[in-house]
Amino acid sequence: MALRLNGSSSGYVELDVPAAAGSHTLTLPDGGGSSGQYLQTNGSGGLSWAGVTTGKILQVVQASKTDTTSTASVDSFVDLGLSASITPTSTSNKILVMVSIGRAVSNSTGFRMAPFRILRGSTAIGVGDAEGVRLQSNFIIFDTNDANYGGAGAYQYLDSPSTTSSTTYKIQWTGQAGETWYLHRSTGNTNSTDTIHSRAASHITLMEVAG
């Protein structure tokens, strides 16, 4: 038999049990709990208010970039085309941002480098300290060979967005004067089984961590 609680002016809330339910007694806790808490059971019908344990992963979002792109940007960050959005469930929770860049190669020989950075919205996060006009980045990929090999990179940062609104994280990169940087391909982009011309992929993973 269902238990129906009528609203003060209209509507109702009804509690029902399964058709083949056994006999159970559920004991509600004393008080209304705190914001963000939930009801937990001790397995014997005793209910109590509890909060999410700090450090637990609450949700995971991942985005991948498998196509190729390039940039001739000089000392000025531009979008890589890799981003992901997540909506935190609490302002006290953190977002673990993990980035892997499969391959980046310069068309120039010798010692070359491409800085990468992570943005939350339009704000760079986890970058090096500001000093003069120096670029602030999270990590750098080096290309020290013959403009066909390049390098890969990985980075992670624990961010505190302090919001429950949808939040977008994205990756940007830049290069040096007189060069073009290519993502996921060799400079020549030759259609060949030679490992020099192999393709790669990049990923960004966002994990909400209970604060």
Every domain of the chain and the residues it spans: 1-51, 57-209
User: Which is more confident, 132 or 35?
Assistant: 132
What is d(CA 142, CA 83) in angstroms, rounded to the nearest whole number?
22
What is d(CA 175, CA 153) in angstroms, rounded to the nearest whole number?
15
Q: Which tokens hold the place of 196? A: 């020099």
Tell me the average pLDDT of the chain: 91
Q: Is the pLDDT of residue 187 over 80?
A: yes
Tokens 């509600």 belong to residue = 28
Cβ-based neighbour number of residue 133 at 10 Å: 6
Confidence class of residue 190 from pLDDT cuts 50, 70 and 90?
confident
Confidence class of residue 21 from pLDDT cuts 50, 70 and 90?
low
Closest CA to 62 of 89, 97, 103: 97
The lowest-confidence range among 14-23, 29-38, 91-100 is: 14-23
Give percent of the chain with pLDDT exceeding 70: 98
For range 189-208, the mean pLDDT:
93
For range 147-168, the mean pLDDT:
94
Q: What is the dihedral of CA 144, 149, 154, 155, to 10 degrees?
A: 40
Contact call for residues 185 and 199 (beta carbons, < 8 A)? yes
> φ and ψ at 196, to 5 degrees?
-60, -30
Give residue-wise pLDDT tens across range 125-153: 999 999 999 999 999 999 887 777 889 99
What's the pLDDT at 164?
Answer: 96
- Reading phi first (left if > 0) and then psi (alpha if -120 to 50, else beta), residue 143 is in beta
Q: Which tokens hold the place of 163? A: 């919001």
What's the pLDDT at 53?
Answer: 74
What's the pLDDT at 163?
Answer: 96
> φ and ψ at 30, to 5 degrees?
-85, 125
CATH number of 57-209: 2.60.120.1340
- Global pTM reads 0.78
Give residue-wise pLDDT tens across range 98-117: 999 999 999 988 889 999 99
What's the pLDDT at 26?
Answer: 87
Tell me if residue 195 falls in helix, strand or coil.
helix
